[in-house]
Amino acid sequence: MTETLFDWFGITQSSTNYDNFKIAFWSGLLSTLLISILVGLFLLWLENKVGKKLMQSQHAKETIVFKGKVTTLLRLPPATVASIRAEEWLPSNYLELIKLISDSPIHIWKSEGKKDFQGLLQRCEKISNKYEDLLVSSKTLNLILHDELAKNASYSIHNAEPILGLINNFKEYTEEFKKGLSHKMPLPVIQMYEKFTKTNSNKELVTNYQQARQTLLIEIESLKKELFDSM
């Protein structure tokens, strides 16, 4: 093959020319390969950089929309719907906020997004963590309370609603409780509430739940203040 190339270009076939050809050939090949690798790496770096910028821009847009939804929810008047489950004794807009946070890729926005929203995202992570703490104490409280109600035919699972209303110190329930027996506070409810909250093991359950709920509410109120003060 080399001899044919020499003939084509009229090059004298000698050991010196062969050596020079090999040196030139391999030097050119290595140079071309090195340049190709460098160009390829540069293009890869450029693609990653552009892709990262586009991703950050996309995350920023998503976070702006998220922030708007959070602000809207926090502007709504708080209204709590009575429930037989302890974890649901939160304002409905707060429950929607918690679901919004849970459904959003907060960890991705926090690690890959712009720094402008770090404070908001950290607050949201704290709210999510505090809600998890509330769920743990709520589920335990629900289990024990519902079990106590199920043991006696005089009680109904629905009696858990006014009992939790009293545990959460809702005015509507505490005022009825002070009045004594009524259609909202029948005797079984009063008896179970007094029995349940005076048992030492249950006292700790109630206290843990109340503290977890209050900590969560404080965290949400802090986020609300931070957002509204920045407007």
Residue 5: which H helix or E strand, with range? helix 2-9
Query: Among the listed ranges 48-52, 171-175, 196-200, which one has the minimum average pLDDT value?
Result: 48-52
Paired tokens of 231 = 């407007």
Query: Tell me: the pLDDT tens digits for 125-134?
Result: 999 999 999 9
pLDDT bin (cut points 50, 70, 90) of residue 25 is low
Q: How far apart are CA 126 and CA 121, in angstroms?
A: 9
Paired tokens of 45 = 């770096």
Distances (CA, A) of 204 to 101, 109, 168: 29, 38, 15
Q: How far apart are CA 152 and CA 160, in angstroms?
A: 13
Q: What is the pLDDT of residue 133?
A: 96
Cβ neighbours, 10 Å, residue 166: 19
**Is the sign of the CA dihedral 156, 161, 164, 170 positive or negative?**
negative
Query: Tell me: the pLDDT tens digits for 158-186?
Result: 999 999 999 999 999 999 999 888 888 99
Question: Does residue 32 or residue 117 have the better pLDDT?
Answer: 117
- Given a cut of 70, is residue 13 above it in pLDDT? no
Query: Tell me: the pLDDT tens digits for 187-197?
Result: 989 999 998 89
Q: What is the pLDDT of residue 59?
A: 76
Average model confidence (pLDDT) for the chain?
84
In this structure, the chain runs to a length of 231
pLDDT bin (cut points 50, 70, 90) of residue 76 is very high
- Given a cut of 50, is residue 5 above it in pLDDT? no
- Given a cut of 60, is residue 83 above it in pLDDT? yes
Query: Tell me: the pLDDT tens digits for 133-144?
Result: 999 999 999 999
